[in-house]
Structure 1
Amino acid sequence: MISAIILVIITIFFPPVGVYIVAGCGADLFINICLTILAFLPGHIHAFYVIYVYYNRKEQAAEGYFENRPAPGVYSDNVQTGGQGYGTMGPTR
């Protein structure tokens, strides 16, 4: 929970940094940089949307519920899965 609060504070001042933290270097970051350069408010809206999707999917995964449909306008697999999609392996025998 504290990490989410710190992430929101970072995003208030630098929206692309907040997107980079949850989505990594990819299309979401590029879109956010462009939106922030063109107008500061759309960059914030996009950044907070990406962060919301990430934490919402992370909470759903913790409850055992996985969303089948991708969130519109989000291109990062890490955000789509709530951070659960990378490096997951079954138990070893």
Structure 2
Amino acid sequence: MSLTTVILNILLPPLAVFLNHGFGSAFLISILLTALAWLPGIIHAFIVNG
């Protein structure tokens, strides 16, 4: 995992997921989790971009 991916995972989790996986279910889940609470969005981004 590159440094830019780590930074994006923390600052903008949906963008990091979108750049690595495109528009799909992982991206939509990331948006939902980030909107509900920031920390679950970050955790999801790290797991998906693993």
Shift of 1:35: 0.3
Partner secondary structure for residue 25 of structure 1: coil
Unaligned stretches of 5+ residues in structure 2: none
Q: How does 1:1-93 map to 2 (within 5 A)?
A: 4-52=2-50
Aligned length: 50
Shift of 1:7: 1.0
Identity over aligned pairs, percent: 46
- TM-score (norm: length of structure 1): 0.51
Specify the structure having the higher radius of gyration (Cα): 1
Counterpart amino acid of residue 33 in structure 2: L
- Paired with 1:47 and 1:10, the residues of 2 have a C-alpha distance of 9
Give the structure, 1 or 2, with the largest relative contact order (CA under 8 Å, sep 6 or more): 2
Give the 4+ runs in structure 1 shifted more than 2 A: none
- Say what the alpha-carbon RMSD is for the aligned residues: 1.1
As a proportion of its length, which structure holds more helix? 2
Shift of 1:11: 1.6
Unaligned stretches of 5+ residues in structure 1: 53-93
